[in-house]
Structure 1
Amino acid sequence: MTHTKQLASNIVTVLVVDDDEVVRNGIIRCLTLEGIHLVSAANGRLGLEMAMQIKPDVVISDVNMPEMDGFQLLEAIRNDTGLASTQVMLLTTRGTRDSMRLGMTLGADDYLVKPFTDVELLNALEGLIKKNFRIQGAIAAAQTAQEERLRRAYSDSLGGGNSFGKFELAPPVGAVAEPAIQATVLFSGILGFTSLAEKLTTAEVAELLSEYFERIHEPVRRNGGQYLRQLGDGLMAVFPDSADEAVPAAGRAVAAALGIVLATSVFRWQLERRFADRGLPPVAVGIGLHAGDVAMCRPDSLQSKEAIPTGDAVNTAARLQFASKQLGWLIVASATVLQQAGPHVQTGASTSLEIQGKSTGVKVIEVRGMDTSMDDTISTTGSLGQQTNEVQTALKRNSEMVARAVKGALESKLAALKHLSFAGAEAPLRLAGYRILRRIGTGGMSDVYLAVHELDDTPTVLKVLNTGSQSAARMARFIQEYTLLSKIDHPNIVKIFKQGFSDTHAYTAMEYFERGNLRSRMGGAVDQRSVIALVSQIAGALSVIHDLGVVHRDLKPENLLLRADGSIVLTDFGIAKSIFQSDNPDLALTRHGDLIGTPSYMSPEQVSGQRITPQTDFYSLGVVMFELLSGQRPFQADTLVSMLALHAREPTPMLPKEHAVLQPVVDKLMLKDPGLRYARAQDLLRDLALVRQGE
């Protein structure tokens, strides 16, 4: 049995269930020789408990046993979502056709008649192990295909397209059709999910999705929802019509939808508190409800007991959910649902929607609430109980897949920009509401693009940073600091509209400056009055970011942009650093040997890798001020090492005589000891004002 031994080397677990100790030990002896991981139980009840605990790949069970026979054990295994795909071989002395037919009907994978030889047992087991590998391979392939479909759908969404394809609505290939049922279908989805996900790490997206779905499962299950399926960031549930229920299916579906809205509201509040520094968009939900025929099918190839709902009612509910954002409604219900739900539902606006595949429009109505008395009646319908480990595991696994898909979609979009030629025949790439027109700059770690907003064609700069090996935590801090800046409304700080990050890229959308940067005004010395005005504006901008705990670290003419009115704007915070992280040396100090900044404008503490403070920016501002007044930089050298040495040791050169009145200001800005420089921007502004008054 070399094949079985080879298969067993892949760590196959076999559970042997038989009340006959001699037979049980004989099977264990035979299979132990092949290196298979074995466990056993003396009857069906113990076997089921063991199976639920260890999740075996194969169960070999006798049929005739006390407490729970083999047929009952088989049926219990097939009805358990966590065990449904387990391979089951039945053993019996009754080799009759009726007995074998019953076993196969209940879902047995093989049937071995006692007495049997070791070779017969091993051959049968080898077949089951191979079948199990095929099933697991099919499941893995299906999951990989689903993740790729989600990635493409989220990529379309990021590009401004229709992300409706993330919902799998067609029956799977090879599915076995079952009779249709009358039911109300609920579709729920997170609105603007990609905007939320692009500001979180992959692990954070997965964790939050898993928690969110656990929360919204509760009102759905409490109100009798069945066939729950997580589809991307959406949830589908079916509420079958039943004469046994006191409340119609449509009423229970409406109650579940309102419960999801409430759960989402609480989740949004908690999320905003947890990630207050990320600038996350408000979490909002959109829900579609429709009633009608629901076709049921079962993916027989994977031996799943869970039927998959498909058909017109499912498609229509999904499309109503998709329309919720455009309508601005939280819950969009078809008129059919509200007719069946009864008079207790509180409604708002109504309209008619064109639905693909339907010859006439569907009348839809906004659901706003439900009478308290009706809600109390519904809340007692059905029971939730504890989420099973299988459900929690499935939610976690699906959430991780969705997180990888949405972050992978953003990664692909950002990485693709690098390879675009922006030729005339090339369609413009769209990203997060912007249409990217051309590349206008490039550097060691970043590229800058001119884009326009899709809605109003407002020119926008899109800066894409390639972080390479930067950790997810560092990426998150990058976004946090830009989020702080995006909240600033100051005339001398660039306006930031949007930002996001993937595993190795980050992007920021900010205002566009047609006049370019300050370097364009530095063909020679600038008049003293203009320099004082420019430096005063820069100092004002530094005062604001320093108060927020951010040090720019790369102040230079290229990062100072000109508005149409001639005013100056501080931009490019790509290497900015928080000064409120002093408890973590890795965040407060630059590592020895790292040069963060531009050498010609670099402070002595940056050169030596010492602590970064707001005074670091004041030193660089002193260099810019000297260059504006004199027409040249204070220190010039042929090599990088020589340049850095000058900044570290040499005193500040003298300004031209006509600017001697500003020499004390420049000297104080450029002192080698950061503790002796200006303590605050306000102190610098005061000295500049005094010079201006004395002119």
Structure 2
Amino acid sequence: MTAVLLVEDDDAIRNNVARILRLEGYDVSVATNGIEGLERARAVRPDVVISDINMPGMDGFALVEALRAEATFATTVVMLLTALDDRASMRRGMGAGADDYLAKPFTRVELLDALDALLRKRGRIELSIESAVQSREEQLRRAFAESIAGHRPAQRSGLEAPAGAITDQVLPATVLFSDIRNFTSLAEKLDSSEVAELLIRYFEHTSEPVLRHGGMHLKFIGDGLMAVFAETPGGPPTTPARRAVSAALAVALATHEFRRWLDERFAGRGLPPFAIGIGLHAGEVTICRLGSTAVKETTPIGDTVNTAARLQAASKELGWTVVASSAVLMQAGEGVQTGAMTSLEVRGRHGWVDVAEIVGLQTSVADHDHGMAALAGRAEEIHEAVQINSAITARAVKGALRTRLSTLKNHQFRPGDAPLRLKGFRLTRKIAAGGMTEVYLAVQEDDGMPVVLKVLEAEGRSASANLSRFIQEYTLVSRITDPHVVRIYDQGFTDDHAYIAMEYFERGDLRSELKAGMDRARVLQVVRQIARGLDVIHSHGVIHRDLKPENVMLRPDGSVAIADFGVAKSMLQEDNLALTQTRHGEVVGTPYYLSPEQASGGEIGPSSDLYSLGVMMYEMLTGQRPFSAETLELLLARHLTAPVPALPPQHAGLQAVLEKMMAKQPEQRYPTAKALLEALDAVESVQG
């Protein structure tokens, strides 16, 4: 039901109009003057406001101006009623932000026709806004898709004039463009709501210093923020360029403070370092307007804007945070502290632009006094813009990744076809497929190193658990750098897709070597390396829970690395809450290598992995598993109660070590992997 607020001081007119509208099915609220009408509008958030002009206290003109000053009522339709049917009054009303003007006296038909026309106009505006939002989201999706595919977008999405826009003004100004570096890599490791939360918090941190320094026409473009600094009548005495330089440094400082929140909010999630780049350029800027005078969106465009965006993009290559053109330096005045300098090629009429790294600003009293009024009345408007942009960006970046991962499944690797790329990796062929996971061989483009890409498409009832376990593999292992733990290079996920880029083992897993037979020296070499890997992962609070020959990989030099952390468990409380998918009493792991506590669904710890390593050591020394059975229940029972089998006579010296590794009670085993290594050293010293 359409909500209408009627503001009229004449009782007879107010009651008559309210009765007509209610009979037509409108939800009508009333107020007797402008002050009461403004309060009522804030309370009921009407779709339409119909207001008389001549009222005591706040008249209709003042009411319209007050409504238009609040972002909440930017698209609220306003119709003014008056007996003064003259051009001057109409111009004043329209200038204040009214959408229509109805002269008294009017008939029922005239009132309803005028209201119907206004609502159709409002529908067209909403449709135009929705279409613009969809177009912008699609532009962002394409830009992120190009980034995910390893390409640099030819044009920064959102810097073009929207369809139907008209030039509002052309002015000399300095443009600030800031952006989050490697945003797609960061966004891939969070879900959509977390991406939006991150952007909202980041933009709220960085918008404040921009506004405080007099930044205008703020525009949020994906993970980027753009602002224009220009001369304004009665504005700050300092030059726009100087204010832009100061704002850029303040944004860099706000970002540093934002990192603290980020580290706390997403602790242990393996996020890449958070960094931004800022570009500054001065020149002529065109301000385009989209919409009516009352409801308009302004967009800065032109070569100056594009150059600022290009300088921001170059900040990563240069290793600078703030990149400013020589035009900015010339206009910023004394005290700007610079670092390195170079020239950059920029598309458009600028050609080559001399740029410098901005590292500081020696401020004066005038610098500290400017621009403080710029924040007045903007907080709610900026907050709403940030929320809308953040939601759009989160959907766009996740949608781009989902589309990219979906195309991999049916891709045919034909000779001569253009290579398929994903985040700096060039896929060469599919090497395995099973269930929901596709496995590809790829090459890391910057150094030619072969890697494995595991891509999961999670569907059905178990999709959430499978996806969580897949993501967990990266989250846990990304903290660990050790030669005896698989290296994981990158990871990303959407609501139903995920990928992991990990170390490639051309020789495969330990099972192939075990089948061929292993001598004592090689067995002890492998056990030591696995124990060293376990010592490291346990020190990071991680329990593997599924140690077996298939999860121990062989490198070309014969060294081994522990892999497949899909059912691993973190002993850290925050990770248990977020990542562990199993509950107390559930059996997790491969039955032949399960510890007794895993077999019974009991509490596990680091010694659980040592038990599994004991089973593997027995199998490597003898060529057969210590326990086997015809049913799963009987196999689990033997883990719980059967004694450890005796090793062959030639390995009898290791029997005591094996029995301690495979003790039924966790507290009777070696307390740590390091203690196991010390025990092996002791055995070797006695026998050697």
Provide TM-score, normalisation by structure 1: 0.90
- 1:501 partnered with 2:488: no
- 1:162 partnered with 2:152: yes
> Are the equivalent residues in 2 in contact too, given 1:139–1:302 (CA < 8 A)?
no
Q: Supply the AA of the counterpart residue of 1:498.
A: D
- 1:620 partnered with 2:609: no
Greater shift after overlay, 100-109 or 137-146?
Answer: 100-109
Residue 304 of structure 1, aligned match among 290, 295, 302: 295
Residue 463 of structure 1, aligned match among 428, 436, 454: 454
Provide Cα deviations, 1:601-639, integer angstroms capped at 9, x if missing partner. Answer: 233433333222222212222222222122233344555
Give distance in 1, aligned partners of 2:224 and 2:338: 23
Greater shift after overlay, 640-649 or 46-55?
Answer: 640-649
Provide Cα deviations, 1:247-297, integer angstroms capped at 9, x if missing partner. Answer: 111111111111111111222234234434233333222111112221122
Give distance in 2, aligned partners of 1:164 and 1:128: 41
- 1:420 partnered with 2:411: yes
Give distance in 1, aligned partners of 2:577 and 2:223: 38
Provide Cα deviations, 1:202-245, integer angstroms capped at 9, x if missing partner. Answer: 22222221122112122211111111111111111111124644
Q: 1:661 to 1:525 in 2, by over 3 A?
A: farther
> Are the equivalent residues in 2 in contact too, given 1:164–1:322 (CA < 8 A)?
no
- 1:13 partnered with 2:3: yes
Residue 326 of structure 2, aligned match among 327, 335, 345: 335
Residue 571 of structure 1, aligned match among 563, 568, 577: 563
Which stretches in structure 2 are left out of the alignment for 5+ residues? none
Residue 32 of structure 1, aligned match among 13, 18, 22: 22
- The aligned residue for residue 391 of structure 2 is 400
Provide Cα deviations, 1:358-399, integer angstroms capped at 9, x if missing partner. Answer: 263122222222113267446566443475333222212221
Q: 1:375 to 1:62 in 2, by over 3 A?
A: closer
Q: Supply the AA of the counterpart residue of 1:497.
A: Y
- 1:253 partnered with 2:248: no
For 1:217-296, list aligned pairs within 5 A: 217-242=207-232, 244=234, 245-296=236-287
Q: Supply the AA of the counterpart residue of 2:451.
A: T
- 1:366 partnered with 2:350: no
- The aligned residue for residue 5 of structure 1 is none
> Are the equivalent residues in 1 in contact too, given 2:456–2:467 (CA < 8 A)?
no
Greater shift after overlay, 542-551 or 470-479?
Answer: 470-479
Provide Cα deviations, 1:555-607, integer angstroms capped at 9, x if missing partner. Answer: 11111111222122111212211123399799779337855322332334333
Greater shift after overlay, 358-367 or 74-83?
Answer: 74-83
Deviation at 1:63, TM superposition (A): 2.2
- The aligned residue for residue 111 of structure 1 is 101
- The aligned residue for residue 74 of structure 1 is 64
- The aligned residue for residue 45 of structure 1 is 35
Residue 633 of structure 1, aligned match among 613, 625, 630: 625
Give distance in 2, aligned partners of 1:671 and 1:208: 48
- The aligned residue for residue 694 of structure 1 is 687
- 1:83 partnered with 2:76: no
- 1:23 partnered with 2:16: no
Cα RMSD over matched residues?
A: 3.1
Give distance in 2, aligned partners of 1:411 and 1:302: 40
- 1:181 partnered with 2:171: yes
Residue 200 of structure 1, aligned match among 190, 212, 215: 190
Identity %, equivalent residues = 53
Secondary structure in structure 1 of the residue aligned to 2:71: coil
Deviation at 1:163, TM superposition (A): 4.1
Q: Supply the AA of the counterpart residue of 2:402.
A: E
Secondary structure in structure 2 of the residue aligned to 1:29: helix
Give distance in 1, aligned partners of 2:590 and 2:489: 26
Secondary structure in structure 2 of the residue aligned to 1:307: strand
Q: Supply the AA of the counterpart residue of 1:570.
A: I
> Are the equivalent residues in 1 in contact too, given 2:628–2:635 (CA < 8 A)?
yes
- The aligned residue for residue 651 of structure 2 is 659
- The aligned residue for residue 675 of structure 2 is 683
> Are the equivalent residues in 2 in contact too, given 1:582–1:588 (CA < 8 A)?
no
Give distance in 2, aligned partners of 1:530 and 1:169: 63
- The aligned residue for residue 320 of structure 1 is 311
Give distance in 1, aligned partners of 2:271 and 2:161: 36
Residue 435 of structure 1, aligned match among 426, 429, 434: 426
Deviation at 1:299, TM superposition (A): 0.8
Provide Cα deviations, 1:137-175, integer angstroms capped at 9, x if missing partner. Answer: 332232222222212211211222124645311111111
Residue 55 of structure 2, aligned match among 57, 60, 65: 65
Q: Supply the AA of the counterpart residue of 1:126.
A: D
Q: 1:663 to 1:431 in 2, by over 3 A?
A: same
> Are the equivalent residues in 2 in contact too, given 1:247–1:378 (CA < 8 A)?
no
> Are the equivalent residues in 1 in contact too, given 2:98–2:294 (CA < 8 A)?
no
Q: Supply the AA of the counterpart residue of 1:591.
A: R
Q: Supply the AA of the counterpart residue of 2:483.
A: P
Give distance in 2, aligned partners of 1:16 and 1:300: 25
Greater shift after overlay, 437-446 or 471-480?
Answer: 471-480
Deviation at 1:497, TM superposition (A): 2.7
Q: 1:303 to 1:144 in 2, by over 3 A?
A: farther
Q: Supply the AA of the counterpart residue of 1:217.
A: S
> Are the equivalent residues in 1 in contact too, given 2:6–2:18 (CA < 8 A)?
yes
Q: Supply the AA of the counterpart residue of 1:269.
A: R
Aligned residues: 685
Secondary structure in structure 2 of the residue aligned to 1:354: strand
Which stretches in structure 1 are left out of the alignment for 5+ residues? 1-7
Provide Cα deviations, 1:63-83, integer angstroms capped at 9, x if missing partner. Answer: 222223323333443444332
Secondary structure in structure 1 of the residue aligned to 2:112: helix
> Are the equivalent residues in 1 in contact too, given 2:177–2:279 (CA < 8 A)?
yes
Q: Supply the AA of the counterpart residue of 2:504.
A: Y
Provide Cα deviations, 1:58-100, integer angstroms capped at 9, x if missing partner. Answer: 1111122222332333344344433222111222234455544
- 1:357 partnered with 2:376: no
Greater shift after overlay, 270-279 or 364-373?
Answer: 270-279
Q: 1:587 to 1:48 in 2, by over 3 A?
A: closer
Give distance in 1, aligned partners of 2:365 and 2:170: 29
> Are the equivalent residues in 1 in contact too, given 2:139–2:158 (CA < 8 A)?
no
Deviation at 1:180, TM superposition (A): 1.0
Residue 555 of structure 1, aligned match among 547, 557, 574: 547
Give distance in 1, aligned partners of 2:25 and 2:196: 37
Q: Supply the AA of the counterpart residue of 2:540.
A: L
Secondary structure in structure 1 of the residue aligned to 2:296: coil
Q: Supply the AA of the counterpart residue of 1:234.
A: G
> Are the equivalent residues in 2 in contact too, given 1:592–1:608 (CA < 8 A)?
no
Give distance in 2, aligned partners of 1:587 and 1:183: 50
> Are the equivalent residues in 2 in contact too, given 1:159–1:432 (CA < 8 A)?
yes
Q: Supply the AA of the counterpart residue of 2:335.
A: H
